[in-house]
Amino acid sequence: MGFGSVGFVVKATDKKPNNRVAIERMVKCSNEQERLMAMKEIRYEIASLVALRGHPNICQLMDHFDQDNKYCVIANFGLATNCKHPLIRDCGSIPYMALEMLLKSWYDKSVDIWSFGCLVYLRLVDVAPVERFISQMNLDGLSMDAKDLLMKMLQENPSK
């Protein structure tokens, strides 16, 4: 499936009761400092998922285990944070980051709409958006509804 916050994510099937799941397996770190940072991220990810257990709109942590000091997490919510106040934390994958995050400006939950818009664009066009502005993106061949949705999600002004 791709890379998660600290490892490689693969599709799998839980044999009991035959559910499809996502498994994030930690990649081997090149040094001790990297390993410690990754372990901190994993603990945060697990704590976030446990705290949000049962929420209908959040993927659920089904299990996690440590095999030879290589953590495996089944499910993923590593970038969760409390968004009651404006944020400045640098997080996420650069191709899907809103401009205010890249500029290290204060931001709010509107950056999630931008990131989701990037995923919608990726699914519709089959290429991750390279351009930062919707006016520069290739929307040829998309329906008017798809274009309208993308124009609304990929707003250059987060207050809109």
Mind listing the pLDDT tens digit of every residue in the chain (160 residues)?
666 656 667 777 776 666 677 777 766 677 788 778 777 777 777 777 777 777 666 667 766 666 655 555 555 444 555 555 556 666 666 777 788 877 888 878 788 888 888 888 888 887 777 666 777 777 888 999 999 999 888 887 767 7
Indicate the domain borders of the chain.
2-74, 94-153
pLDDT at 78: 45
Q: 3-class secondary structure for 70-138?
A: EEEEECCCCCCCCCCCCECCCCCCHHHCCHHHHCCCCECCHHHHHHHHHHHHHHHHCCCCCCCCHHHCC
Assigned fold of 2-74: Phosphorylase Kinase; domain 1 (3.30.200)
Q: Output the pTM of the full model.
A: 0.50
pLDDT score for 76: 46
The Cα–Cα gap between 99 and 104 comes to: 9
Give the list of residues 6+ apart from residue 107 with CB closer than 8 angstroms, or none. 86, 87, 88, 98, 100, 101, 158
